[in-house]
Amino acid sequence: MSNKRNGKQTVKMQTPPSIVSSACIVGPKEGEGPLRLYFDEIIEDEMWGEKSWEKAESKLMRETFAKVLKKGGRLPEQINYVIAGDLLNQCIAANFGLRESEVPFLGVFGACSTMAESMSIGAMLIDGGFADDVVCITSSHFCSAEKQFRFPLELGTQRPPTSQWTVTGSGGVLLSNQGTGPYITYVTTGKIVDMGIKDANNMGGAMAPAAVDTILTHFKDTGLSPDFYDLIVTGDLGLVGKDICEEILESEGYDIHERYNDCGLMIYDRKKQDVHAGGSGCACSAAVLAGFILNEVRNGNLNNVLFVATGALLSPTSTQQGESIPSIAHAVSIQRTLSREG
Amino acid sequence: MQNGLLTYINAFLVGGIICSIGQVLIDKTKLTPARILVLFVTSGAILTALGIYQKIVDIGGAGATIPLTGFGYNLAKGAFQDVDKNGILGAFTGGIKAAAAGITAAIFFGYIASVVFTPKAKR
């Protein structure tokens, strides 16, 4: 077994890559939420001057990519890989958004876990000596997601109270083998977990087992315990999923509730904003990470964070065929300094 | 005058009840909005065939004909009338004939709306 593997699903970085810069652009609803001061840019309306939601989403990714580079002091020529994905069929937001980037492109699909998936691959490429600088970026858009997974907005259909609100936005990071942190120290790659839940209006409940599986595996593989982390954050389990995740982990002997939060619950004010069960989408975890969490790590409010983005690997077709919802969660361990290594 | 007021109140109550049923279905079941609408149309047609919906229309007027159950009512009633006039073929032609104005209006005004207005996200 290679000397970088830790246990079943975890890789320990020999030379932890640094997260050199991060950036995110979000939509107006996110811009009215509790994290509004942490986002780089808030667009005025969901079309952003484009002719379709899909084009607007591509623009979000394109502009965020540019911001990530600018804040990291790099030119596109210096980037070895961009690893990107989104929710749209064939990941067109990424394909068209990064069409002119001139950077070697690896498209990935992890649904809402894309941010953690792309960071996992990026970190491994750098630690493996295959790259110096990698950009990991993802996007989602409420209108394009509704059109694809549920109904187009023009139909004016009503959304049930358990549904989640897809975050409109894009978030990205620049990883490099040159830098002074925050560092990516461990990557735990999730397996697909399906508990047979078919209710697309209870994605949180469907994804919680995947989050539990990955978090448990991470602790077992690394020998770390929950109190190593100041924050364990999942992508978009929402209210119901978060409770399930906490409960199951506790029954397995891991009490995380003091340090556990969920990006879907952080990005919106559920009482004031009509988002039903909370936020979701690739940009949910990406924007909260790129905007808020990394900011808190940089200024020392947080030292060690376990970022666990969760994804529901379904499609409109599988739902129509009566299939359940297979889910996945990827964990990325982020540390401000390398002194307190596990 | 009293009769006029009662008509409005009945329309309000009947229409409200039908829509409340829709709300309960959205909140308490896993039916998608599209399935609920289809359920409304087919229920309207079936209740008309059973002779029940006509009674609801007599009480509620527009409160019964405007919601989508009323469209099912229209289709079923049209089919019956055409069968009476033209025999069994009327089962195929009657429904669409009766609903022709409504369907065409929906397409026409829907088109105009999509050309004139730009979609915006809800807040």
Q: By percentage, how much of chain A surpasses pLDDT 90?
A: 86
Nearest chain A residue to B22 by CA distance is A158
Per residue in A17-51, pLDDT (tens digit) is 999 999 999 999 999 999 999 999 999 999 999 99
- Contact A237/A260 with Cβ under 8 angstroms? no
How large is the average pLDDT for residues A144-153?
89
pLDDT bucket at A342, cuts 50 / 70 / 90: very low
How large is the average pLDDT for residues A107-121?
98
CA distance A95 to A105: 9
Residue of B26, B34, B121 with shortest CB distance to A143 = B121
Which of these ranges, A124-128, A205-209, A231-235, A269-273, has the smallest mean pLDDT? A269-273
- So what's the pLDDT on residue B119? 77
CA distance A192 to A97: 28
pLDDT higher than threshold 90 for residue A80: yes
pLDDT higher than threshold 50 for residue B61: yes
pLDDT higher than threshold 50 for residue B40: yes
The mean pLDDT of chain B is 92
pLDDT higher than threshold 80 for residue A328: yes
A1 CB-near residues (< 8 Å, 6+ apart): none
Residues 40-79 of A with CB under 8 A from B: 45-47
CA distance A186 to A333: 5
For A127-165, letters b (16+ CB in 10 Å) and e give beeebbbbbbbbbbbbbbbbbbbbbebeeebebbebbbb
pLDDT higher than threshold 70 for residue A341: no
Q: Give the mutation candidate from B28, B32, B40, B111 for the A interface (greatest A CB count, under 10 A).
A: B32
Task: Establish if A154 touches chain B: CB-CB under 8 angstroms.
Answer: yes
CA distance A147 to A161: 18
- So what's the pLDDT on residue A1? 60
pLDDT bucket at B2, cuts 50 / 70 / 90: low
Backbone φ and ψ of A307, nearest 5°: -95, 115
Output the six-digit token pair for B70. Answer: 């009323």
Task: Establish if A4 touches chain B: CB-CB under 8 angstroms.
Answer: no
Size of interface A-B (CB pairs under 8 A): 35
CA distance A290 to B79: 61
What 8-state DSSP symbol labels residue B66? S
CA distance A223 to A13: 15
- Contact B55/B103 with Cβ under 8 angstroms? no
Residue of A152, A199, A274 with shortest CB distance to B30 = A199
Residue of B26, B33, B118 with shortest CB distance to A151 = B33
Output the six-digit token pair for A2. Answer: 């290679």
- So what's the pLDDT on residue A199? 84
CA distance A63 to A283: 14
This prediction's pTM: 0.91
pLDDT higher than threshold 80 for residue A131: yes
CA distance B120 to A28: 12
C-beta atoms of A153 and B120 within 8 A: yes
CA distance B33 to B25: 9
Choice between A203 and A248, residue whose per-residue pLDDT is larger: A248
Q: By percentage, how much of chain A surpasses pLDDT 70?
A: 99
C-beta atoms of A157 and B27 within 8 A: no
For the packed helices B90-116 and B68-86, what is the interaxial angle rounded to 10 degrees? 140
CB atoms within 10 A of CB A18: 19
C-beta atoms of B33 and A201 within 8 A: no
Neighbour-count burial of A2, counting CB atoms closer than 10 A to its CB (0-12 exposed, 13-18 middle, 19+ buried)? exposed
Tell me if ipTM is over 0.95: no
pLDDT bucket at B116, cuts 50 / 70 / 90: very high
Shortest Cα distance from A274 to chain B (angstroms)?
7
